[in-house]
């Protein structure tokens, strides 16, 4: 039985009535589509910190000593310590997660561009959108490998595809670690993801390859693996350009050159070019490549996650 992929998520995005005004921010795409593939683990830092529903809205407020989470109207109440403590409560669940979807703009869960008020000019100056939610910041610091994304950014097809891709890569890594990752496992994992990494950054692919080459002789395999996964997840955050994708597709096509006639080769080259020029989505050249590899199997290519990064039913490659 396949291990379910668990994704952390801000509770309000699943329709739970936990917002300060007693409402929710249910996201239909997340619940209806992603819910078919992931097991959600919901959490609301503000509710768990005892703020209650409904409650006065809280904001990030900048003081000389640092940023605090407070109410800004009426009697000022500070919830920084309370929210920090609930972060500790969820820690046991975090290693089981393969990704996390956060609520944008939230002073607890916002991943970027959260409003920050100046304590000395609360009503005189508009807030700056330079902050990060307290809970989101803790996630980034304590679990730097964990794929994070805001629900608002999932509306961008490139960011959405990138996030889902990272979830599946990280989940496969977690499964290896749970089984007791050995040097050969690291080598095979890197090999299976070679073209996926190439599409994001060919230079980083070489650097990761050098790390993996040390696996058999490294005195501390655990330390080496930590370096590898940290660097890999950073690389995969980069959005692959059409030029990088076309270069990767051309490399993979090289395994078919001895099997294809001139007409098939011309068609493949033209389709890759049409993708690079923006006339067709990525799924088109990938589907054509998979068609030819079914007729002319190459075991090494069969193992490449580039051609099958996640369930095709998600239809993510149809939009990038």
pLDDT tens track for 96-127: 999 999 999 999 999 999 999 998 887 788 99
Judge contact between 151 and 27, C-beta under 8 A: yes
Give dist(CA 278, CA 284) in Å, integer.
11
List the domain range (segments joined by +) for residue 263.
157-320
pTM of the full structure: 0.94
Mark whether 112 and 239 lie in a shared domain.
Answer: no
- Measure CA of the first residue to CA of the last residue in the chain; give whole Å: 32
Mark whether 177 and 75 lie in a shared domain.
Answer: no
Cα 192 to chain centroid distance, Å, stands at 19
Q: Structurally, how many domains does the chain consist of?
A: 2
Last residue of a domain, one of 115, 131, 155: 155
Mark whether 133 and 169 lie in a shared domain.
Answer: no
Give dist(CA 120, CA 172) in Å, integer.
48
Last residue of a domain, one of 140, 155, 170: 155
Q: How far is CA 166 from CA 77, 81, 88, 193, 237, in A?
A: 38, 32, 25, 12, 8
Mark whether 91 and 201 lie in a shared domain.
Answer: no
Model pLDDT for residues 252-276, shown as the tens digit of each residue: 999 999 999 999 999 999 999 999 9
Which H/E stretch holds residue 30?
none
Smallest CA-to-CA distance from 134 within 209, 48, 194, 55 is with 48
Strand partners, 101: 9, 149
Strand partners, 300: none
Mark whether 139 and 175 lie in a shared domain.
Answer: no
Smallest CA-to-CA distance from 149 within 200, 94, 98 is with 98
Last residue of a domain, one of 127, 155, 183: 155
- Phi, psi (5° rounding) for residue 83? -70, -35
Mark whether 166 and 296 lie in a shared domain.
Answer: yes
Mark whether 150 and 161 lie in a shared domain.
Answer: no
Q: What is the pLDDT of residue 1?
A: 53
Q: What is the pLDDT of residue 213?
A: 94
Q: What is the pLDDT of residue 217?
A: 80
Mark whether 113 and 190 lie in a shared domain.
Answer: no
Judge contact between 116 and 61, C-beta under 8 A: yes
Residues 6+ apart with CB under 8 A from 293: 255, 256, 301, 302, 307
The segments of the chain whose pLDDT lies below 50 read none
Mark whether 139 and 173 lie in a shared domain.
Answer: no
Give dist(CA 259, CA 71) in Å, integer.
68
- Phi, psi (5° rounding) for residue 112? -165, 160
Mark whether 81 and 163 lie in a shared domain.
Answer: no
Q: What is the pLDDT of residue 104?
A: 95
Mark whether 315 and 177 lie in a shared domain.
Answer: yes
- Strand pairing class (5-10; 97-102): parallel
Q: Cα-Cα-Cα-Cα dihedral of 106, 108, 109, 110, to 10°?
A: 50
Give dist(CA 255, CA 176) in Å, integer.
28
Region of residue 32 (left: phi > 0; alpha: psi -120 to 50; beta: else)? alpha
Mark whether 60 and 178 lie in a shared domain.
Answer: no
């Amino acid at each position: 039985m396949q291990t379910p992929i668990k994704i952390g998520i801000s509770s309000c995005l699943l329709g739970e009535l936990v917002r300060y005004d007693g409402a929710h921010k249910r996201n239909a795409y997340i619940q209806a589509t992603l819910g078919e593939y992931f097991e959600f683990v919901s959490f609301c830092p503000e509710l768990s910190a005892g703020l209650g529903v409904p409650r006065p809205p809280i904001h990030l407020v900048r003081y000389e000593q640092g940023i605090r989470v407070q109410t800004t109207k009426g009697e000022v109440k500070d919830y920084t310590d309370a929210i920090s403590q609930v972060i500790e409560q969820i820690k046991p669940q975090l290693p089981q997660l393969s990704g996390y979807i956060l609520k944008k703009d939230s002073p607890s869960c916002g991943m970027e561009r959260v409003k920050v008020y100046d304590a000395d000019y609360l009503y005189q100056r508009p807030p700056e959108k330079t902050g990060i939610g307290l809970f989101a910041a803790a996630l980034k610091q304590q679990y730097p490998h964990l794929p994070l994304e805001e629900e608002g950014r999932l509306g961008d097809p490139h960011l959405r595809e990138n996030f889902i891709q990272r979830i599946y890569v990280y989940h496969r890594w977690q499964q290896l670690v749970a089984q007791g990752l050995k040097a050969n496992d690291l080598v095979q994992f890197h090999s299976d993801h070679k073209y996926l990494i190439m599409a994001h950054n060919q230079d980083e692919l070489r650097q990761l390859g050098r790390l993996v080459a040390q696996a058999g002789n490294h005195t501390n395999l655990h330390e080496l693996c930590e370096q590898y996964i940290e660097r890999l997840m950073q690389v995969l955050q980069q959005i692959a350009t059409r030029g990088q994708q076309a270069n990767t597709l051309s490399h993979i096509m090289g395994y078919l050159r001895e099997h294809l006639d001139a007409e098939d080769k011309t068609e493949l080259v033209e389709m890759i070019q049409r993708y690079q020029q923006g006339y067709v989505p990525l799924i088109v050249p990938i589907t054509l490549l998979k068609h030819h590899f079914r007729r002319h199997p190459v075991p090494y290519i069969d193992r490449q996650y580039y051609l099958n990064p996640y369930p095709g039913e998600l239809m993510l490659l149809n939009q990038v």
